[in-house]
Amino acid sequence: MGHQAADCVSRPRGLRCLPIMTKPACPACTLDDVLEHSDHWECSTCGHEWPKEEAPEVARVVKDANGNVLAEGDSITVIKDLKLGGSQVLKAGSKAKNIRLVAGDHEIDCKIDGTAFMLKACFVKKA
Ligand SMILES: [Zn+2]
């Protein structure tokens, strides 16, 4: 229902793609011997029942340094020099087009001059 399974295929660098409707572990006893009913789960180990939920398709709101909401496909500009490890620096003013939003503390997956970067949204602004 509204899951975009096809989207999983093109994710770069093995980003985690949650399988759809896998059986959850029991929230009461943490075992995963779980029975599936039409609208709820039942733990066959301890009998705990709990409602089904849509897989948490992350309705994330990612905001740039100015508080503007970023969306997939947006273009962004880096607002400060970012150290990349070693002596490399991603310069303020670097631009990326067609960003992707991903889970994690670096919310933006993008390419700058052909190199893939994961950036924190607080260090960019919408271009
Ligand atoms: Zn249980």
CA of 24 to the centre of ligand 1 (A): 11
- The domain spans of the chain are 15-51, 62-126
Into which CATH architecture does domain 62-126 fall? Roll (2.30)
CA of 6 to the centre of ligand 1 (A): 33
CA of 25 to the centre of ligand 1 (A): 8
Q: Token pair for residue 2?
A: 């509204």
CA of 17 to the centre of ligand 1 (A): 26
CA of 58 to the centre of ligand 1 (A): 26
85 vs 73, 88, 90, CA distance in Å?
27, 6, 10
Q: Which of 65, 30, 23 is nearest to 45 (CA)?
A: 30
What is the tens place of the pLDDT at every residue in 47-66?
999 998 765 555 678 999 99
pTM over 0.75: no
- DSSP state at residue 91: -
CA of 1 to the centre of ligand 1 (A): 27
Q: Report the C-alpha gap between 88 and 110 in whole angstroms.
A: 17
Look at the domain 15-51 and name its fold.
N-terminal domain of TfIIb (2.20.25)
What is the tens place of the pLDDT at every residue in 97-120?
999 999 888 999 999 989 999 999
The domains spanning 15-51 and 62-126 adopt the same CATH topology: no
